[in-house]
Structure 1
Amino acid sequence: MRQFTAVVNPTAGGATSAAALLGVARLLREAGAGLETEYSRSLPHARELARRAGQRGRVVLAVGGDGMAGGIGGALSGTGALLGLVPAGRGNDFARALELPTGPSELAALLLRGEPRSVDTIEVTSAVHDRTVVLGSVYAGVDALANHHANNARLLRGTASYYAGALRAVAGWRATRYRVTVDGAEHAFTGYTVVAANSGYYGFNRLIAPSARVDDGLLEVVMIHEAPRRLFFTLMNELGTGAHVRRPQVRVLRGREVRIEADRSVPYGADGEVEAVLPVTARVLPGALRVLAP
C-alpha cells in the first residue's frame, strides 16, 4: 500500500486546498494507505518538504494550483520520486493536460492503484534566477504581465482576475522586438508574447499550444506577432479552443531548447510563479518526472 505525504500551502488558497485534500484523504486512509500532511511556509519550503518526502520513498501529493504543482514537480524532477496531484488552484492547467479525474473517488483510486507515468519537465535558466525546473510553460510578454496583475488583484479572483489583468496589461503594452532561438535557429519578430509550452494549457484553462504533449521530449513554441488590439482580444478569446494557431499572426515551432530575448525589459513567468525579466532559456528534460496520471 502506498504511503503519501501531502504538501499544502496554508496561506495561498489554503481553504480550497484543505477542502480538496479532505475528501481524497478520507478515501486514501479508508483504503489503508498512510497519509501525512506537511504545511509549507513558501514555495521554496514546499520544494524542500517534497524532496525530503521523496527521499523517504513516499508519494508526494502537491495540493494546490499550478504554482504548487510546478514547484513540487520541479523539485522531484530527476529524482525518481513519485508525484501525485490534488488540484485545488484557479487554473489547474497541468492537471488538465494530464487529464486527471476531478472527482475525489476517481482521483483517490488513481493515487492508490494508478501506474506511474513519465512526463517531461522544463529547466529554466536566466542571468537573474538560479536554475529552476517547472512543469507547464515559460511565457514572456503581455501574458506574464497579465499574470502578475492577476496574482496581485485584491478584489477579483479566478478567471475574472485574469481577464482584468489581461485588459490592464494589453492597454499599456508597446510593441516588443523579440529574438527567439529554437535549437540554434534564430527567429526575430515584433509582437506580444512567446510561450515555450510543455503543457497545452496555461492562464486558467487557455489552450495556448494545442499540439503540445507532456511526454514527447519537445517544447511547443508559440509566438504571437504584432496585431491591432481589437484583433489581439479576438485571439485571446480563441485561446479557449486553440483556434488562434490558425491566425497568420501566430507562429508555432517545436524544439528542445528555446532562448527568448527582447529589445527592452520584458517580464517572463513560469507555471504562474517565477517572475523575472528576459533573457531566459527553457530546455526540456525528457521523461524526468514520474507522476500518477492516466
Structure 2
Amino acid sequence: MRRLLLVVNPVAGGGRAREIADSVRRVLTEEGYDVEMTFTTSAEHATTLLAECYPGQRVAVLAGDGVLARALQGAYQSGAVVAPLGGGRGNDLVRALGVNLDPLQAARELAGATEHSIDLGRCNGRIFFGVATVGIASLANQVANETKFLRGTAVYVWGVLRALISYSPQRFTIEVDGKKHAQKAWNISVGNATSIGGGMQICPNAKLDDGVFDLNIIDDAPRRLVVPILTKIFDGKHITMKEVTEQRGETITIANTEPLAIMADGEFLDSLPATFTVERQAVRVLV
C-alpha cells in the first residue's frame, strides 16, 4: 500500500477543510493509500511539515492558496512531491495546476495523477507561486481577506468595489529584463500562474512551467472605464483592451515613491520597491 501524508489546514474555507478532512482521508484510503493525517497550526507550520519530509515523499495538502504556497515552500526545501487539494475560498493555485476543484473528486483522481515540476517566483527573495499584484488588485485582496461573509470570486469582487472608492492610479518605474520605463497604472500583476480571486484570469497566458513571468498592466484610464476592464478579467478578455498591456520577462523590477503592498497567493508578500525573479522547475507536484 502506498504511503501518503495528508496535511490539512483546519481553518481553510472558513473551516470547511476540517469538516471534509475525514471524508478526504477515507477516499484516499479507498484509492489504495496508507494515509497519515496531520493538521497545521499556522502557515509557517505547513512549511515546516513539508520541509521535514524525505525527498520524493508524497504529500496531499488540503488548504487554501496561502497555506498551500507555504507547503510548496517546504517541499522546495525537502524535495517532497505535493498533491494539492483545494480547501480554501479561492483555490487559484489548484485551478492553475488543472486539479479538480472538488477536493473529494481530486482525491479520487490522485491515483492517476502524474508528476510535474513547476517554477517558483521570488519577490525580493521571498517565494510565491501564483500571481503577485500591486495596485488596486492588491488593495482588493486585502479587503477580501478581511471579509468573512462571502466566499470565492464574490468576496474578491466586493474587495474590488471597495478598493475603487479610495484607490487612484500610481506612477511606477518598471524594468523588464533590463528595459526600463515609467508609467501611471491602476494595477501591475506579475504572473507565474494565471488567476487571482477565485478564478479571475488576470494573467491568462501565464504558465507555471515556462520559466518566465507574464507582466500585466492596467494602464491609467478614467475611473468609469476601470469597472468594464475589471469585469473582463473573469475570462481573461481584458488583455484585448487598449488600456491593458502585457510583457514577458525573467527579471522584473517595480518601484514607486511609496512602499505599496504586494499581495501574492492570497497574502501580503512584500512592499515596493521589488525585484521579481523566476526559478525554473523548482517544486514537484502531482496533478
Q: TM over 0.5: same fold?
A: yes
Distance 1:174 1:102 in 2: 35
- Alignment match, 2:57: 58
- Alignment match, 1:269: 263
Q: Which amino acid aligns with 2:168?
A: R
Distance 2:84 2:76 in 1: 14
For residues 235-287 of structure 1, give each alpha carbon's deviation from its aligned partner in whole angstroms, at most 9, with x where no partner exists.
11000111110111111000111111112231111111134321122211111
Contact 2:172 2:182 in 1 (8 A): yes
Contact 2:85 2:107 in 1 (8 A): no
Contact 2:134 2:262 in 1 (8 A): yes
Matched, 1:94 2:102: no
CA gap 1:154/1:240 in 2 versus in 1, 3 angstroms: closer
- Alignment match, 1:284: 278
CA gap 1:187/1:67 in 2 versus in 1, 3 angstroms: same
Deviation at 1:168, TM superposition (A): 1.6
- Alignment match, 1:207: 201
Contact 1:118 1:288 in 2 (8 A): yes
Task: Calculate the aligned-residue CA RMSD, in Å.
Answer: 1.9
- Alignment match, 2:9: 9
CA gap 1:56/1:185 in 2 versus in 1, 3 angstroms: closer
For residues 118-143 of structure 1, give each alpha carbon's deviation from its aligned partner in whole angstroms, at most 9, with x where no partner exists.
11111222xxxxx3322111111111
Contact 1:179 1:260 in 2 (8 A): yes
Identify the range of structure 1 (69-78 vs 203-212) with the bigger mean alpha-carbon deviation: 69-78
How does 1:252-263 map onto structure 2 within 5 Å? 252-263=246-257
Query: For 1:55, what is the secondary structure of its paired residue?
Result: coil
Q: Which amino acid aligns with 2:193?
A: S
Q: Which amino acid aligns with 1:46?
A: A
- Alignment match, 1:26: 26
Identify the range of structure 1 (280-289 vs 70-79) with the bigger mean alpha-carbon deviation: 70-79
Where has structure 1 moved over 4 Å in runs of 4 or more?
Answer: 103-106
- Alignment match, 2:147: 153
How does 1:1-294 map onto structure 2 within 5 Å? 1-13=1-13, 15-52=15-52, 54-55=53-54, 57-77=56-76, 79-103=78-102, 106-125=105-124, 131-293=125-287
Distance 2:180 2:62 in 1: 39
Query: For 1:240, what is the secondary structure of its paired residue?
Result: helix
CA gap 1:237/1:107 in 2 versus in 1, 3 angstroms: same
Query: For 2:234, what is the secondary structure of its paired residue?
Result: coil
Identify the range of structure 1 (146-155 vs 193-202) with the bigger mean alpha-carbon deviation: 146-155
Contact 1:8 1:14 in 2 (8 A): no
Distance 2:184 2:236 in 1: 22
Unaligned runs of 5+ in 1: 126-130
Unaligned runs of 5+ in 2: none
Q: Which amino acid aligns with 2:91?
A: N
Contact 1:198 1:212 in 2 (8 A): yes
Distance 1:282 1:186 in 2: 14
Q: Which amino acid aligns with 2:256?
A: A
Q: Which amino acid aligns with 2:90?
A: G
Deviation at 1:57, TM superposition (A): 4.7
Q: Which amino acid aligns with 1:60?
A: V
Contact 2:8 2:61 in 1 (8 A): yes
Deviation at 1:210, TM superposition (A): 1.4
Distance 1:20 1:209 in 2: 31
Identify the range of structure 1 (4-13 vs 187-196) with the bigger mean alpha-carbon deviation: 4-13
Distance 1:215 1:265 in 2: 30
Query: For 2:235, what is the secondary structure of its paired residue?
Result: coil
Distance 1:223 1:102 in 2: 28
Contact 2:195 2:203 in 1 (8 A): yes
Distance 1:175 1:102 in 2: 34
Q: Which amino acid aligns with 1:121?
A: L
CA gap 1:56/1:186 in 2 versus in 1, 3 angstroms: closer
The alignment's TM-score, normalised by the length of structure 1, stands at 0.91
Deviation at 1:109, TM superposition (A): 4.2
Deviation at 1:65, TM superposition (A): 1.4
Q: May I ask how many residue pairs the two structures share in their alignment?
A: 287
Query: For 2:110, what is the secondary structure of its paired residue?
Result: helix
Deviation at 1:115, TM superposition (A): 1.8
